[in-house]
A and B are shown apart, each in its own frame.
Chain A
Amino acid sequence: MLNKNKVIVGMSGGVDSTVAAYELKRLGYEVIGVNMRLWQDDFLEDAHLLKDGGCCSLSSVEDARRVCEQIGIPFYALDFKAVFKETVVDYFIEAYKNGETPNPCIACNKHVKFEALLEKAHQLGAYYVATGHYADIKFDETLNRYVVEKAKAVEKDQTYALYNLTQDQLKHILMPLARFTSKEEVRQIAAQFDVQMSQKSDSQEICFVPDQDYVGFLKRNAEYDIVPGKFVDGEGNLLGEHQGIVNYTVGQRKGLGITFGKPMYVVDIDPDLNRVVLGENEAVFKTELWANEVNFILMDRLDGPYRCEAKIRYSAKPAPCLIEQHGDRVHVTFDTPQRAVTPGQAVVFYKDQYLVGGGTIIRK
């Protein structure tokens, strides 16, 4: 029998997870802090580049241990290296091979934090897993299902990375930072503990590429070769040589290595022909997209066309659109053209404050 008063908190030693654990303890839960040991790039470890990295750095174990001691909860480190490598790192490497721009945080939430960690929590007799995410999970009596609302601390809202959560998972997840209206409030509570107050782990940087050089990472860890190819225009006319498709993302202007006398942007990446299509600014805007690997939170699936808003990247503003499900795919039509619709990134749907669901943008 799982204990509904027992909760496992993923602890990085940072501000958010520390306050999440503290809040739960304050609310009377039996809280157990767990630091998730994740896969690291040996090269960076050897070069000592991981020392002060993000949430997955080596020092995070000791940071988390110290904070748990201060809060007065037990602390353990658990190994998630294999599952992280398989579901996050390998996916990341494969996505670039396919000309996509991956979102490893979403993969990690889906497979590691809310699947593998939840499984460990259950093995420890705990009903709940909690994280320091800014999002609000509620049970809606009318819908008879769990729903996710945007965080009250709007500027910190992390629902974008949580659209994959299933009803079965949501039942077992607590996100105690939901009640805070700003990060500042959270930081004030964290100040009583010996935590890393720096903002760096907040950024969208990739925890297993702390030096930000993902191309270098791919060179070391991918089993495929990064092969130079052709820049072409929309009609297929040769514009120049590119350094391998993994170097580019849709909407990119800088770092193309050639000048054209007018601003040129990456419009499309074709992995089959190893080509990068360039175009002028207006070519980067699209009104439509397709997504696969779709998950809906507010409903099991769409019955018909559905009016809502959608974000095509973490930092984007939700834009009004009409979405329609076709089998396991979703077609999205925006009211106004969107800049840099990027295959591999997530499109996430919202209705007012509710997280409706989302999927992975595909090339077609």
Chain B
Amino acid sequence: MNRLYLDYAATTPVKPEIVEAMLPYFSDFSLSEVDAIYKDCADTLARCLNAPASTITFTPSGSFSNNLLIKGLANYGKGKGKGTHILTTVIEHPAVGNVFKHLGDLGFQVEVIPVDHKGYVDLNYLEKCIRPETALVSVMMVNNELGTRQPIEAISRLCRLNEVLLHVDAVQALGNIPLDLELLDVDAMTFSAHKVYAPKGCGAHYIKPALQHLIEPLIYGEEPCGFNLPYIVGFARAVVMATEQLESRSTHKHLLKEKLRVGLEGLELGIKVNGNPDHPGILNVYIPSRDGDTMVINYDMYGIAISSGSACSSGALNASHVLRAIGYSEAEAKRCIRYAVGDMTTEEEIDRVIDITRKILKG
């Protein structure tokens, strides 16, 4: 049976072009070139993101970057005379949410901002939460489960106005929506390679020039020759491709996602879309007659990979905190699944998914 992958928001396969770009860097370079290649890759990312040179750092993962940035910025803000009040949203990925929990244990006052039924942060609410002692706000750009994109521009203005640092987790945004750091004007942003058809085990982040070298490292003793150069090269190549093809790939994904949505709604089983999927590939739906977990299993038995909630929460088997946050009960939240269309998805695959969904639900 041909496996059909429709879980691109969880992770992506590595594209052959990326593999090809990486291969020489497993062997064919001298140690003296490492610094130059690293800098070249970092500046490539910066260029794609419309950020100044020397603002990008590569790390072992998105979670690593989130940890480093959130801990670093919170402590820096506090050290600069701000207080220990830090803000985030209720729909963050655990890679952010758990860092805030940890900082809470360390004595920071963590405040968690709710979202509306579509998954958007309420700007008025956020504004009211910001206090003179607020050191940091962290908001994810595109939610990994719902695909909603937060109004980062407005949040950024609010933070500037109040002199609060702003971190943005853009792991799910990169390669799927336009990212212009000059326009967004955030203090720090996190990215991950494995969401943009590059390998797992590589992340990156942006830090505003004025804040460079002011953030405490997570690990001491890092040496340039310890870099995972092939992955960094692959990541940079992937971001170039994603940027160049952003419009065509977004259109491709959006059309297929719409086809899927129309097909699912056409089954007339009361399937409805959750949140407001600004992300071109993410489609999170509520299915009244089935639990998300049994849907995932049913699809799996037909060779289709999707997920209920985020991949991480599927492992933990809890109802999605994101779906709870947009107003679903525990039982309702468990009746949701997420499809995520990717660059390689085809029309035939969408037809097959709709057909199999009909088989599963209508017998």
Residue ranges of A at the interface with B (Cβ–Cβ < 8 Å): 1, 32, 37, 74, 76-79, 81-82, 120, 123-125
- Shortest distance from the beta carbon of A120 to any chain B beta carbon, whole Å: 6
Q: Which of B20-28, B126-134, B228-236, B287-295 contacts A (4 or more CB under 8 A)?
A: B287-295
Complex CA distance for A77 and B308, rounded to whole angstroms = 13
B294-A79 in contact (CB<8A): no
How distant is the Cα of A1 from the Cα of B295 in the complex, in angstroms? 16
Q: Is the CB of B293 within 8 A of A79?
A: yes
Partner of B290, one of A78, A79, A81, A123: A123
- Tell me if B294 and A120 are in contact (CB < 8 A): yes
Q: Is the CB–CB distance between A78 and B301 below 8 Å? A: no
- A37 & B317 in contact (Cβ 8 Å cutoff): yes
Provide 15 A-B residue pairs closer than 8 Å at the C-beta atoms, listed in order of the A residue.
A1-B363, A74-B300, A74-B301, A77-B317, A78-B294, A78-B297, A79-B317, A79-B318, A79-B334, A120-B291, A123-B291, A123-B295, A124-B297, A125-B360, A125-B363
Is the pair B330, A78 in contact by a Cβ cutoff of 8 Å? no
Q: Which residues of B pack against A, CB within 8 Å? A: 290-291, 293-295, 297-298, 300-301, 317-318, 330, 334, 360, 363
A81 in contact with B294 given A1-B363, A74-B301, A125-B363 (CB within 8 Å): no
B300 cross-chain contacts in A, Cβ below 8 A = 74, 76
Rounded to whole Å, the gap between the CB of A75 and the closest CB of chain B is: 10
B298: chain A residues within 8 A (beta carbon)? 123-125
Q: Which residue of A lies closest to B297 (CB)?
A: A76
- In the assembled complex, which residues on chain B have CB atoms less than 8 Å from the CB atom of A82? 330
> Complex formed: what's the CA distance from A74 to B363 in Å?
21
Q: A81-B318, A123-B291 are in contact. List 20 more A-B contacts (CB 8 A).
A: A32-B297, A32-B301, A37-B317, A74-B300, A76-B293, A76-B297, A78-B294, A78-B317, A79-B317, A79-B318, A79-B334, A82-B330, A120-B291, A120-B293, A123-B290, A123-B295, A123-B298, A124-B297, A125-B298, A125-B363
CA distance A125 to B330 in the complex (A): 24
A10 to chain B, nearest CB (A): 14
Roughly how many angstroms separate A120 CA and B294 CA in the complex, as a whole number?
7
Closest CB in chain B relative to A36 CB, distance in Å: 10
Q: CA of A37 to CA of B334 in the docked complex: distance in angstroms?
A: 15
Q: Which residues does chain B contribute within 8 Å of A78, judged by CB atoms?
A: 293-294, 297, 317
> Which of B300, B301, B334 counts the most A-chain CB atoms under 10 A from its CB?
B301
A248–B360 Cα gap in the complex (Å)?
51
Residue numbers in A under 8 Å from B293 (CB-CB): 76, 78-79, 120
**A122 and chain B: residue at smallest CB distance:** B294
Interface residues of B, dominant DSSP: helix
- Pick the contact of A81 from B297, B317, B360 — CB < 8 Å? B317
CA distance A77 to B294 in the complex (A): 10
Alpha-carbon gap, A359 to B259, bound state (A): 55
Tally of contacts, chain A with chain B, CB under 8 A: 36
User: A63 vs B297: C-alpha distance in the bound complex, in angstroms?
Assistant: 19
Residue of B nearest to A76 (CB): B297
Which residue of the partner chain A has the closest CB to B331? A82
- Residues in A whose Cβ lies below 8 Å from that of B363: 1, 125
Cα–Cα, bound, A82→B334 (Å): 11
B301 contacts across to A, CB distance below 8 A: 32, 74, 124
| Chain A minimum-CB-distance residue to B359 | A125
In the complex, which residue of chain B has the Cβ closest to the Cβ of A74?
A: B301
With a CB–CB cut-off of 8 A, which chain B residues contact A81? 317-318
Considering the chains assembled together, what is the distance between the CA atoms of A1 and B291 in angstroms?
17
Question: Quick one: which of B294, B295, B301 has the most chain A CB within 10 A?
Answer: B294
- Provide the residues of chain A in CB contact with B295, threshold 8 Å: 123
Residues of A within 8 A of B297 (CB): 32, 76, 78, 124
A279 to chain B, nearest CB (A): 47
Distance in Å: Cβ of B308 to nearest Cβ of chain A: 10
Complex Cα spacing A123 to B293, Å: 10
> In chain A, what residue has the closest Cβ to B330?
A82
Q: How far is the CA of A79 from the CA of B291 in the complex (A)?
A: 11
Bound-state Cα–Cα, A74 to B293, Å = 15
Per the bound structure, the CA–CA distance linking A125 and B356 in Å amounts to 13
Contact residues in B for A74 (Cβ distance below 8 Å): 300-301
Residues of A within 8 A of B334 (CB): 79
Q: Which of chain A's residues have a CB closer than 8 A to the CB of B330? A: 82
Contacts of B360 in A (CB 8 A): 125
CA distance A76 to B334 in the complex (A): 16
Bound CA span A81–B293, Å:
13
B161 to chain A, nearest CB (A): 42
Which residues of chain B have C-beta atoms less than 8 A from A120's C-beta? 291, 293-294
* Docked CA distance A1–B317 (Å): 27
Q: How far is the CA of A67 from the CA of B317 in the complex (A)?
A: 21
A74 to B334, CA, bound (A): 22
Residues of B within 8 A of A76 (CB): 293, 297, 300
A120 and chain B: residue at smallest CB distance: B294
Bound: A32/B297 CA distance, A = 10
CA distance A123 to B291 in the complex (A): 8
User: Measured between C-beta atoms, what is the minimum distance from B38 to chain A in Å?
Assistant: 39
Q: Smallest CB–CB gap between B300 and chain A, Å?
A: 8
Residue of B whose beta carbon sits closest to that of A79:
B317
B318: chain A residues at CB < 8 Å are 79, 81
**Separation of A125 and B290 alpha carbons in the complex (Å):** 11
In the complex, chain B residues whose CB is within 8 Å of the CB of A124: 294, 297-298, 301
Chain B contacts for A125, CB-based, 8 A:
298, 360, 363
CB distance from A253 to the nearest CB of B (A): 43
Closest 4 CB pairs of A and B: A79-B317, A123-B294, A1-B363, A76-B297
- Tell me the minimal C-beta distance from B182 to chain A in angstroms: 45
Contacts of A37 in B (CB 8 A): 317
Pick the most buried of A32, A79, A81: most chain B CB atoms within 10 A of its CB. A79
Q: Which residues of A contact B294 (CB under 8 A)?
A: 78, 120, 123-124
- How many angstroms between the C-alpha atoms of A76 and B317 in the bound complex? 11
With CB as the reference atom, state the residue of chain A lying closest to B362: A1
Determine the chain B residues whose CB is within 8 A of the CB of A77 once the complex forms. Answer: 317
B7 to chain A, nearest CB (A): 16
- Kindly state the separation between the CA atoms of A250 and B332 in the bound complex, as whole angstroms: 43
Interface-centre pick from A1, A37, A77, A124 (highest chain B CB count, 10 A): A124
CA–CA, A77 and B318, complex, Å: 12
Give the docked Cα–Cα distance between A1 and B359 (Å). Answer: 10
CB distance from A355 to the nearest CB of B (A): 31
User: What residues of chain B lie closer than 8 Å to A123, measured between beta carbons?
Assistant: 290-291, 294-295, 298
